[in-house]
Structure 1
Amino acid sequence: MVTIPEISPPLPRDFGWRRNLPNLAGLDWLRAGWADFKDQPVLSLIYGFGVFGVSLATVYGFFRLDMDYVLLPALAGFLVVGPILGLGLYEKSRRLALGQPVGLFSMIFARPRAGGQVIFAGLLLCLVMLLWMRAAVILYALFFGLQPFPGLDAVTATLFTTASGWGLIIVGTVVGGLFAAFSFAISVFAIPMLLNERIDALTAMGTSMALVWNNMSVMIVWGAVVVALMTVGVVTALLGLIVIFPILGHATWHAYKTMRGDPTAARTIQALDGAEA
């Protein structure tokens, strides 16, 4: 009788995930992202305009289908699928770092080294977003019963002048925060990783979460920067996304390269520091 030996896969040690970066390392990533944006800016602007167009069409579709009640959670859920939409921006930053030619075709039709695993990851993130939106609808029903959604013009008064509204704000913030934290952790580095490495989607998501968990303070600050900039993009009637989204996309690539321990990322940031000096 042949026995199969028990195999215990090596577990990553704490020092394998920690990067000991300053809490404001995200500002360096933003500067590096801005540098990539300024290199052939028309390409990034066209890409940003495309994201703006998709976002505008989605919002218009919600109104046409009388689904304005899911508009707010959908805008928040945009942060979930954002990393997928930034794939072409990661490709531009990758090519610039390698000294390869960059074109709009290569950005839109980027060929990830992980192949179809990117599609699988995208489907998982879309499912998380749909679950988030459904949770928001259920929370509204728990606090307001079968009352119809009052519409965006009356939603502020409904939320801030009633006890049920304040309850929905508090509980919704907690639940939405948990969804946002989980989605951010599994996706922030996973999609750039799938573009650059031969790895499966679940391993990439697990690695992304491990990097976020073991570099919590840095990633909390970076997450706050992303939320703040995306909020600016939304309150400017989505027009701000034309510039903000590409810069964040390029910055995310540099965040990934730094957190994965790529020495070229550090050299890029040092070169930027030297140029400013």
Structure 2
Amino acid sequence: MLSDRTDPPPPDNPHAAGVIPKVVPPLPRQNLRARNLPWRTAFDWLRAGWSDLWTNPLPSLLYGAGVFALSILVVWGLFQFRYEYALFPALAGFMVIGPLIANGLYEKSRRLELGEEVGLAGMILVRPRSGYQALFMGVLLLGLFLLWLRAAVLIYALFFGMVAFPGTDELIPMLFLTPTGWALLLTGSVVGALFAAFAFAISVFAVPMLLTERADALSAMGISMAMVWANLPVMLAWGATVMGLFLVSVATAFIGLVLVFPVLGHATWHAYRNIRTDDRQTGESERMFIRPA
């Protein structure tokens, strides 16, 4: 006689009631933006930038001279209109807008890569493929720069109260010979470094991308940050190189910018081409926000 009793399913059956299925580890996912470049690759970019500088050097040197003149004009204006307190924040802010100013240098390196010639006019009157999106990104970076200036004023008020800036004669003793000044320098350096690192990450590859690809500014900034994060060791080395050479330029009263700025601009293009290879060019799946006109 057959029994009506039904045996329970085996315990390893995932469909059994009350039985938790086995946890299966996720499949490894390849990061398509990671190039696994050693940190020394940053010096290869620097050498490539040096080579681009001395290939038809006059336009690049004139471009660097223009950046030098602009820097002197900004410093003169700060002292002329009694905004000396904004000098150090303005120097740090140069790292925020620097990639945008170097757009003409990217254009020269791009044309050299294609075997074309380019003069100073072609470097200044650049037509980014993304059109107005490059201008929109400039507005965003300018807003970030102004936000940093406001943060610097708030940090000063936090340590010295709502008092007028003492002037340049008392600035050095106030900052370097008092505990409050040391705390201000430390806090300002940390906050400024965060602003500079964020601006570097969102713009270092976004500006060349907008020059050569049809993408919107927000997508370009997001992709730039992803590229930096996926190649962090070499990008940390490159960021340190940029910062070190900029400090050398400041120590030479900005004269070094005539040479340093073109080299860094050309080298940044090679960094972009090294990481943003042809088979990873922006497609529809990477446009996260809007389609450029």
TM-score of the aligned structures, taking structure 1 as reference length? 0.88
Deviations 1:13-40 (A, max 9, x none): 6521211001111100000000000000
User: How many residue pairs are counted as aligned between the two chains?
Assistant: 251
Alignment gaps of 5+ in structure 2:
1-28, 280-293
For residues 106 and 30 of structure 2, what CA distance do their matches in structure 1 show? 28
1:173 aligns with 2:173: no
1:114 & 1:120 partners in 2: Cα distance? Answer: 10
* AA partner of residue 145 (structure 2): M
3-state SS of 2:266 partner: helix
Give the % identical residues: 57
The answer to whether the 8 A contact 1:14-1:214 is kept is no
Distance in 2, matches of 1:100 and 1:177, equals 38
Q: Distance in 1 between matches of 2:87 and 2:114?
A: 40
Is 96-105 or 242-251 further displaced after alignment?
A: 96-105
3-state DSSP class of the match of 1:17? coil
Larger CA Rg, structure 1 vs 2: 2
Supply the distance in 2 between the matched residues of 1:238 and 1:196 (Cα, whole angstroms).
Answer: 30
1:180 is displaced (CA, Å) by 1.1
- In the other structure, the counterpart of 2:210 is 194
Whole-angstrom distance in 2 between the partners of 1:40 and 1:230: 23
Q: Distance in 2 between matches of 1:155 and 1:212?
A: 37
In the alignment, the residues of structure 2 paired with residue 67 and residue 259 of structure 1 have an alpha-carbon distance, to the nearest angstrom, of 40
| Residue of structure 2 equivalent to 1:71 | 87
**CA separation in 2, counterparts of 1:20 and 1:36?**
25
Partners of 1:85 and 1:150 in 2: how far apart?
32
Instruction: After TM superposition, list the pairs within 5 Å mapping 1:148-187 onto structure 2.
Output: 148-187=164-203
Distance of 1:47 and 1:125 partners within structure 2: 21
Kindly indicate which of the two structures has a greater share of residues assigned to helix.
1
CA drift at 1:155: 2.0
Runs ≥4 in structure 1, deviation > 3 angstroms?
none
C-alpha RMSD of matched pairs (Å): 1.2
Give distance in 1, aligned partners of 2:216 and 2:184: 38
Q: How does 1:1-277 map to 2 (within 5 A)?
A: 14-262=30-278
Deviation at 1:262, TM superposition (A): 4.2
Residues 229-262 of structure 1 deviation map (CA, whole Å, 9 limit, x = unaligned):
0111111111110110000000000001111024
